[in-house]
């Protein structure tokens, strides 16, 4: 019985650290599998890089399109704004033709020797450049005594006077403070808007009244 | 090429280094694969798959512990995964081997060739073979075996016991065959 041993132990003794060579063809098979795997990885890498490239290109394109769209919108907005300005200018010009201008700004450049006169029309005012010895130049019939003076390098004395003529009241307000004139113009606009709305309401009321009268007449 | 150079080369996916690594360890790992597989064909398939995993995950090897041990474990677990899915434990073997003795004459086993012993292990039912290999040949505890194979510790113990009974029966049969041959 001393020679008898646990079968598990005997197997362990014999099989421990044993070696056996596999078939020669196994490396060729493994090599082929490794090549196949590398090819797959390369394809996957190309797929991902390509996908990423396409995505970047699309993002870039989208960015470019968005920028050009916003530019177009800005350009359109500018165009609309310039059209509005033109319309307002035309309206004011018409008003100026119909009645004396509501607001005028006169710039007088005074020079002892040089004589130059240029009228630059503005949306709400006309500008006049006159020599220094001219006391008053421009479309306005209001007399202004320049109080604000400045001397340029060329020896020109520049004074800016703003005039506001209200054709409804037939009054002229003169000031070198443009803000004051601007506030007067704005206040007048508001008043005009109120008047317009009242007039529109009256007109619509009268239309309604007329219609009611017409309806009430039996056929 | 030293082991470090081999590992470095394999990390760079250098085919020469990979071929050299295969040459150096194929015999050891093939035997591990043989012990855990049903036959030589499945063992070669398993070795192929194990080397693919080794080359893929060699970047993760942190030079802690034995490199050969790391590769052996990969080969072993690759085979376990293969058989874990379809474990086959024939009931008739269990019933017939209940009362058998688990000891054998030392000399008796020494006369049997390594290939025949290996064949005895390979012919064990899948779960018996895995438990016998893990517990007896690779030194895992029954608790560890149970965790690896998703079985209970008791099942591991009983499978191991039955594996030994089956092995002993095979050895006895082989010895009787030899005796009868010599006698004739």
Comparing A110 with B6, the larger pLDDT belongs to B6
Question: If you average pLDDT over residues B91-116, what whole number do you get?
Answer: 67
Q: Using 50, 70 and 90 to split pLDDT, how confident is the model at B123?
A: very high
Q: Which residues of A touch B167 (CB under 8 A)?
A: 7-8, 11
List b or e across B37-59, with b for residues whose CB sees 16 or more CB atoms inside 10 angstroms.
Answer: bbebebbbbbbbbbbbebbeebe
A136 or B80: which leads in pLDDT? B80
Rounded to whole angstroms, the Cα distance separating A11 from B20 reads 31
Tens of pLDDT, residues B131-141? 999 999 999 99
Inter-chain contact B117–A14, Cβ cutoff 8 Å?
Answer: yes
Portion of chain A with pLDDT greater than 90, in percent: 20
Q: CB of B104 within 8 A of CB of B168?
A: yes
Chain A residue numbers touching B26 (CB-CB < 8 A): 21-22, 26-27
Å between B44 CA and nearest CA of chain A: 7
CATH architecture of B3-86: Orthogonal Bundle (1.10)
Q: Percent of chain B scored above 70 by pLDDT?
A: 88
Written as six digits, the tokens of A189 are 């606009």
DSSP A167: T
DSSP codes of every residue in A138-158:
SS--S-------EE-TTS-EE
* CB-CB under 8 Å, B34 with A20: yes
- The alpha carbon of residue A55 is apart from the nearest alpha carbon of chain B, in Å, by 30
For residue B29, give the chain A residue with the closest CA. Answer: A19
Instruction: With a threshold of 0.85, tell me whether the complex ipTM lies above it.
Output: no
CB B52 within 8 Å of CB B42: no
Verify whether the Cβ–Cβ distance A15 to B118 is below 8 Å: yes
Q: Report domain extents, chain B.
A: 3-86, 106-183
Secondary structure E strands in A134-218: 150-151, 157-166, 171-175
Q: Judged by CB atoms within 8 Å, which residues 18-47 of A form the interface with B?
A: 18-23, 26-27, 29-31, 33-34, 37-38
Looking at residue A118, its pLDDT comes to 37
Please give the CATH number for the structural domain made up of B106-183: 1.10.10.10
Cα separation, A131 vs B80, in Å, equals 109
B130 band by pLDDT with thresholds 50, 70 and 90: very high
pLDDT digits (tens, 9 = 90+) for A137-164: 333 333 334 444 555 556 677 778 888 8
- pLDDT, tens digit, for every residue of A19-52? 999 998 999 999 999 999 999 988 888 888 888 9
Strand A126-129 versus strand A4-6 pairing type = unpaired
Q: Which of B3-7, B73-77, B151-155, B158-162 shows the lowest mean pLDDT across its residues?
A: B3-7
Give the bridge partners for A107, in sequence order. Answer: A160
How close is the nearest chain B Cα to the Cα of A25, in Å? 10
* Residues of B with Cβ-Cβ distance to A3 under 8 angstroms: 105-107
């Amino acid at each position: 019985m001393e020679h008898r041993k646990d079968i598990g132990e005997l197997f362990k003794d014999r099989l421990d650290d044993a070696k056996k060579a596999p078939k020669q063809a196994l490396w060729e098979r493994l090599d082929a599998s490794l090549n196949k795997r590398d090819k797959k990885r390369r394809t996957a890498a190309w797929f991902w890089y390509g996908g990423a490239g396409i995505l970047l290109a699309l993002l870039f394109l989208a960015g470019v399109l968005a920028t050009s769209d916003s530019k177009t919108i800005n350009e359109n907005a500018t165009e609309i704004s310039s059209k509005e300005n033109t319309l307002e200018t035309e309206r004011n010009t018409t008003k100026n033709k119909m009645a004396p201008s509501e607001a005028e700004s006169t710039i007088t450049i005074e020079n002892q020797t040089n004589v130059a006169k240029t009228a630059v029309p503005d949306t709400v005012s006309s500008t006049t450049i006159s020599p220094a010895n001219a006391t008053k130049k421009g479309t306005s019939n209001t007399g202004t005594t320049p109080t604000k003076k400045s001397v340029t390098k060329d020896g020109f004395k520049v004074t800016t006077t703003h005039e506001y003529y209200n054709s409804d009241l037939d009054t002229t307000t003169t000031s070198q403070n443009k803000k004051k004139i601007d506030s007067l113009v704005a206040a007048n606009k508001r008043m005009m808007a109120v008047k317009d709305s009242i007039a529109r309401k009256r007109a619509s009321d009268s239309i309604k009244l007329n219609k009611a009268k017409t309806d009430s007449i039996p056929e | 090429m030293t082991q470090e150079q081999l590992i470095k080369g394999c990390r760079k996916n250098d085919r020469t280094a990979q071929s050299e690594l295969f040459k150096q360890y194929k015999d050891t790992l093939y035997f591990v694969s043989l012990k855990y597989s049903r036959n030589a064909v499945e063992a070669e398939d398993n070795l192929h798959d194990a080397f693919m995993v080794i080359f893929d995950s060699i970047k993760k090897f942190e030079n802690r512990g034995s490199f050969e041990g790391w590769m052996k474990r990969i080969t072993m677990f690759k085979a376990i995964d293969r058989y874990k899915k379809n474990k086959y434990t024939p009931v008739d073997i269990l019933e017939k081997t209940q009362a058998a003795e688990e000891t054998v004459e030392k000399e008796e086993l020494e006369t049997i060739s390594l290939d025949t012993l290996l064949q005895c292990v390979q012919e064990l039912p899948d779960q018996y073979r895995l438990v016998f290999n893990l517990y007896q040949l690779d030194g895992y505890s029954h608790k560890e075996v149970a965790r690896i194979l998703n079985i209970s510790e008791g099942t591991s113990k009983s499978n191991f016991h039955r594996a030994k009974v089956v092995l002993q029966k095979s050895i006895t049969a082989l010895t009787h065959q030899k005796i009868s041959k010599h006698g004739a």
